[in-house]
Amino acid sequence: MLLGIDVGGTFTDAVILEQGEIAAQAKRATTHDDVLHCVLAALDAVLKPELAEKLERVVISSTIVTNALTEGRLDDVFLAVIAGPGMNIAGHLPVTPCYLQGYVDHRGKITAQLDLLKLLQQRGKGVAAVSGKFSVRNPQLEYQAEHELKKCGYKKIFLGSGLSGELNFVRRTNSAYFAAQVYELFAHFCERIREALAERGVHAPVHILKADGGTLPLAVALEQPVEAVFTGPAASVLGIEALAAPTVNSISLDVGGTTTDIAFWENGLPLMAKRGAVINGFPTAVRAFHMRSVGIGGDSRIHKTADGYTVGPEREGPAAAVGGEVATLSDALIVAGYVSFGDTARSLAALEKFGGEPRLEAQKIIASAVGIIRETIEAMLDEWAKQPVYTVDDVIRGTEFVPAQLIGVGGGAPGLIKALGEAMELPVEIPEGAMVANAIGAAVARPTLSAGLRADTTEGFYIIPESGRRERLPKRFTQRVAEELLSSWLREQTADWQLPDAETELVSCEHFRTVHGYYDTGDIYNLRMQLRPGILYKVQGREVSF
């Protein structure tokens, strides 16, 4: 049995799955001031005493990291960078860092030793971050800075090379900073989750969902807490893959009470962002789906203006049809006949306050909401088309994405996506189980872990930045040997995750010949591999009333 819990902006959902079917499901109101409270409320609603010992894994998709980072309620943390010569990174980072002298060149050679004088003046007892340019080629200067900061009293230091093995100094640095900033909050949340599950007799492994749709055990997630950002959108994508993966180019929309999350699908799989996730306007190395969130949901507030209506981004509360004080988007959808729940007379009365005939006003309100979502989709299509081309296939076929259908999940999907489909002249599919699709996606998400390897046969060493491992190359080194080394390391890391099917796949590979004095002297290999992402199995959905 698998248990999935998803904390949304309005509701927190929980499902227990057994052999591809939903054994239990529940929906509880999200308590933003205490996320653990709504997680446990949903858990207790589905977890019967006899089920606790049967659980094989628990996966939690929580807004705690996303909300903390995007709402700006976290204190700044100390950030040290080893930038070396080159671009000026001022303005590209969330805070003004401490600049350390020292440099690792593009081949991984230390060409200037670290000046530790600035670090010796630091005193702290919290969390810090260190990031160096080309540290993925040689992290020794980062290690030296980490050592000195621990002597200065810092208890936890995140390194840029430990969070991403890919080149892009700014993205790695931002990832390290945000990981440090959210660490103590996330660690406290994880500890309370452990205690609460133990009290309920749950001893199954507990995983946290990541932005790329994979999962990590709590202990591993604590070393990469920034990976837990934007997990809600990731959960909806996985839920759709489990319930009804599309066979044609599709746009999926997860409509909650507060927001609508939009994703693209091609060849039955969600498209990944070709760059990392962006947090508060700053690019990071966090892998994520090509997604966008819009501040429109079923409980969105309606504003009447001189030019018509605007919808959202504020959440007003429950619809008037189910006891709310004022009209929301859901009330407009009820009056227009797109959905049917609650007291229609209350929805009509709430819309009458705007003046005019309620049904006509409802159509105007829905048109405004649909217009904003369409604008966001068009911007995403334009962004995707303008991204760099990386393969011969991209050159031949182009990167234009042409959708053939819409797929909706979430409580507000049946009405809003139907209206959007009419406007875009696209067929609409709402799979059974759509109301708890996010929790289903969390439950069946595969564990994932990615890492890179760089080998330079001229220097005679290879490095796996995420591990800090820098070792001599074996004899007769080839790309195949490089893949075996990296795959073996990934499997070692996941050996105690208590889950089968740890299949690895090659994500990217670059091979260069090195030349000195007009002669070939060796090879450089840059590889990236990961545990194959996706879902553990398909799920047969079913609809229930909450």
Question: Which carries the bigger pLDDT value, residue 495 or residue 238?
Answer: 238
User: Two tokens at 490?
Assistant: 């990934």
In sequence order, the 6+-apart residues with CB closer than 8 A to the CB of 390 are 274
Separation of alpha carbons 470 and 104, rounded Å: 15
Count CB-CB contacts under 10 A for residue 306: 4
Question: Which carries the bigger pLDDT value, residue 363 or residue 30?
Answer: 363
Separation of alpha carbons 47 and 52, rounded Å: 7
User: Two tokens at 282?
Assistant: 């700053």
Beta strand residue intervals within 193-259, DSSP E: 206-209, 215-217, 250-255
Per-residue pLDDT of 3-35, as tens digits, reads 999 988 788 999 999 988 999 999 898 887 788
User: Two tokens at 371?
Assistant: 């217009």
Beta strand residue intervals within 316-398, DSSP E: none
pLDDT of residue 404: 93
Closest CA to 102 of 87, 88, 119, 114: 114
Residue for token pair 């930038």: 83
- Mean local confidence (pLDDT), 339-351: 92
CATH topology of domain 253-430: Nucleotidyltransferase; domain 5 (3.30.420)
pTM, two decimal places: 0.84
pLDDT of residue 302: 92
pLDDT of residue 442: 93
Tell me the pLDDT band of 522, cut-offs 50, 70 and 90: confident
Residue for token pair 């810090």: 128
Per-residue pLDDT of 166-181, as tens digits, reads 888 999 999 999 999 9
- 147 by DSSP, 3-state: which? helix
Tell me the pLDDT band of 52, cut-offs 50, 70 and 90: confident
- Mean local confidence (pLDDT), 332-342: 91
Phi-psi region of 65 (alpha: psi -120 to 50; beta: other; left: phi over 0): alpha
pLDDT of residue 332: 93
Residue 451 near residue 529 (C-beta atoms within 8 A): yes
Count CB-CB contacts under 10 A for residue 294: 21
Task: Find out if CATH 3.30.420.40 is the number for domain 2-70+186-249.
Answer: yes
- 172 by DSSP, 3-state: which? helix
- How far, CA to CA in Å, does 187 sit from each of 50, 126, 134, 284? 29, 13, 29, 21
Per-residue pLDDT of 126-159, as tens digits, reads 999 999 999 888 888 999 999 999 988 899 999 9
Helices 358-385 + 344-352 axis angle, to 10: 90
- Mean local confidence (pLDDT), 205-214: 91
